[in-house]
Amino acid sequence: MADQQTDWIGKALIVVGDATETVDTLYPFYRLQEAKIQPVVIAPENRVYQMVMHEVRPGWTITREWEGYQIKADLAFSEVDETEYLGILFSGGRAPEYIRYDEDLVRITRYFFEQNKPVASVCHGVEIPAYADCVRGRKMATVAKCKFDLEVCGGEFVDEPCVIDGNLVSGRTFHDNGHYVGPWIRMMEEAAAAAGS
């Protein structure tokens, strides 16, 4: 979905797979464009993915799921040169449960943490950096049902709409988009400005 605009200040990765949460994905996608940061969607393969709407509704104690929009990956994980990007976002939904085991995604994830580049995570997105052993000693927000995934991998769960721990910015669910996406984008704007000066 990345377009041909030429005045980008940089590029950022958005990690998806089938059953990625629609609002978790599209809100930051368009906010990046507003900030003149080119969103680059990456997934296990370079193809179209089915997103979902994912929410606990009244009368239910577990998450219900409905089909959302589709999104086209720009690159497969194996095609990504992570050194070209300002930051990365791990979207939520069910996708992280199965894409987290991809060796190329693990490589990409570890790079952003090791290089202290801006990382954003929302909802189930935590399952990816947790599996990649990148959350040890880090404070993060995530959906309550993923608290275990975070804590068993050495992270600390914080029940807030935006948690900033160094280069890591996180939110609990798409309801927190207006809180955590802005700080993540500002980190990348600052990085782009510093690189250009």
Give the phi and the psi of residue 5 in degrees, each rounded to 5.
Answer: -55, 140
* Full-model pTM: 0.94
Q: How far apart are CA 91 and CA 75, in angstroms?
A: 16
* Residue 77 to residue 83: CA distance in whole angstroms: 13
pLDDT at 57: 75
Are the CB atoms for 181 and 31 separated by under 8 Å?
yes
The tokens describing 66, both together, are 């409905």
pLDDT in tens, 88-110: 999 999 999 999 999 999 999 99
H or E element that contains 180: helix 177-196
107-149 pLDDT per residue, tens: 999 999 999 999 999 999 999 999 999 999 999 999 999 999 9
pLDDT of residue 60: 78
> Rounded distance, CA 146 to CA 131, Å?
12
pLDDT number for residue 4: 60
Domains of the chain: 10-196 (3.40.50.880)
Separation of alpha carbons 171 and 4, rounded Å: 30
Q: Going by C-beta distance under 8 Å and a sequence separation of 6 or more, which residues neighbour residue 30?
A: none
Q: What CA–CA distance (Å, rounded) separates 55 from 43?
A: 23
Give the pLDDT confidence score for residue 5 in this predicted structure.
62
Active-site residue (options: 54, 124, 175, 179): 124
> Confidence class of residue 55 from pLDDT cuts 50, 70 and 90?
confident
Let me know if 124 is a catalytic residue.
Answer: yes
3-state secondary structure of 46: coil
Locus of tokens 């090791």: 114
Name the more confident of 45 and 197.
45
